[in-house]
Amino acid sequence: MNTWSRAPSQVLELAGFAAVFWAMSAVPIVFEEGFQRDAVKLIELPGDLADALEAESRPLVMRGSLDDNVVIVTDRKTYAVNLVETSNTVLLVRPSADAHTLGVHSVLGCHYEMIETVPDLARVRSLLREHEIGVNDLPLFFDDMDGAGLRFDELADCVQASDAQIETALDLMDAIEIRGRWFSLSVELVNRALSNVLDVALSCGFQLDRLPVDEVVHELQGDFPELLIKHIVRVFSVGKNYDRDAKLDESAVCRQVAIRILLEEPKVPFEAFMTRWQLEAPGLMTPETDMLRGVALIDESVRSRTVMYVPIESLPSDPAKRFEALFSLKQKWAYEDLVAYLSDLVAFGHPLEPLILKHTRAVQQGAFYISRRSNKPLK
C-alpha cells in the first residue's frame, strides 16, 4: 500500500486544477498503467485529531491485541477506527502527463472514520486484581517484588486507552504504586487501614478536617507501612494538602464504612442498616443515603425497605448489558440514582442523555426511568 502526505497548499493547487477540468464540457478519464484497486486507504479524522497529527508533537499510537478492534490513542483520548462502506465507487484521479486527461490510479469502496470512544478501563481493574495486596501481604511494601505488580508500560500494552485515561482509572480504583509497580488493594485491607487511621484520630483527639498525617503515621508505624497510611489518607481526603494536615472527605469515609457493613451482609433491612451506619460513622460525620449512589441500592419494591450492595464495578461494561443488569435490579429509577451507575460509559465531557434516551423512557412526568423494552405495569 502506498502512503504519502501533502501540504495544504499542494492540496489546494490540485483542487484548483481539478476544478478547471470539471468546468469543461467533457473530461477524458483514463486508467493509469500502474492502476491498483484499493491501493490507497482514506481516513476521516476529527478536527482535534487532525491538529494533533499536523503538530507532530504528540504521538498517535495504535493499541490492541489480535483479538481486539483497533483503536488509536493520543496522550489523552481514545478513538475507535470504524470501516464505512460507501454505495458509490470513488475514483482517485490526478492530472496526467499530457495535461488533458485525468488518470485513475485507484478506486475506493470504503473509508475509515475515527470516533472518540470510551475505553474499556475494566481491563485495568481485571489486570490489577491479579496483583492485589491483602491483609497478609504487607511485606510487599518492604521486600523484593519477585515480579509482583505491573509497570505502567505493561498496563498500557494491555489496555486500549490513552495514558491519561489509564492514570484516571488507577486513581478511581485507588491503586497504589510501590517502587514503580502498580497494585490494587483488597477492600479488607483498605477497611482495616482506614479504621486504624480513624481510631488514632479519635484516641489522640485529632480533628478530621485537619488530620496531622505525620503523627498518624508515627502512631501506626508498628502495624502499617508509611506508604500505605499516606495512600489511605490521600484516597479519603479532599484537596491537595494530604501530606501534612489532611481534610478527610466525609462522603468518602461514610461510603467506605457502608461498604464494610454491606460486605458482612450484602442485603440488610434499611432501618437496621441506617442505625449501624450512623453508629459506626466517625466523629461528627453524618451518613446520608445520597452517599450510597454507585455503591448500594435501596430496594423499595417490597413492604420492608432493604439496602443491597451493588458496586458499579460489579456491573457489565457494555452499555446494553449494563442497562439490562440495572433494570433486573429495579424496575424504575430516579435520574440521580441511574446516572451514578452510568458515569463510566461515556467519554469525559460528553453528555449521558443520549445513552439514557436510547435504553430508557421517562414515566410519571419524568420522575422515573424504565427500560425501553419493558411492558410491565409500574408498581
pLDDT in tens, the chain (379 residues): 444 555 555 554 555 555 555 555 577 888 877 787 777 888 888 888 888 778 776 778 888 777 888 899 988 899 999 999 888 888 888 877 776 788 888 888 888 999 998 888 888 999 999 999 999 888 777 776 677 899 999 999 989 999 999 999 999 999 999 989 999 999 999 999 999 999 999 999 999 999 999 999 999 998 999 999 999 999 999 987 667 889 999 999 999 999 999 999 999 999 999 999 999 999 889 999 999 999 999 988 767 899 999 999 999 989 999 999 999 999 999 999 999 999 888 876 778 999 999 999 988 777 788 998 766 655 5
The grid coordinates listed for 275 are 442505625
The neighbour count for residue 216, using CB atoms within 10 Å, is 24
Tracing cell 486504624 back to the chain, one arrives at 196
Q: Which residues contact 253 (CB under 8 A, 6 or more apart)?
A: 194, 198, 208, 236, 281, 282, 285
The pLDDT of residue 200? 96
Tell me which H or E stretch contains 97.
Answer: none
Alpha helices in the chain (DSSP H): 8-23, 47-55, 122-129, 152-158, 163-172, 187-204, 213-219, 226-235, 250-264, 270-280, 319-329, 335-339, 353-359
Nearest CA-CA partner of 253 in 233, 226, 230: 233
For the chain, the structural domain boundaries read 8-116, 122-250, 315-379
Nearest CA-CA partner of 315 in 294, 335, 299: 294
The neighbour count for residue 294, using CB atoms within 10 Å, is 19
The pLDDT of residue 3? 45
Distances (CA, A) of 41 to 95, 109, 205: 20, 10, 68
The pLDDT of residue 12? 47
Q: Which residues contact 53 (CB under 8 A, 6 or more apart)?
A: 45, 60
Amino acid 191 reads N
The pLDDT of residue 324? 95
Q: Please return the burial class of 304, using the count of CB atoms within 10 Å of its CB with bins 0-12, 13-18 and 19+.
A: exposed
DSSP annotation of 1 reads -
Tracing cell 507501612 back to the chain, one arrives at 225
The pLDDT of residue 250? 96
Q: Which residues contact 164 (CB under 8 A, 6 or more apart)?
A: 75, 76
Give, in words, the CATH class of 8-116.
Answer: mainly beta
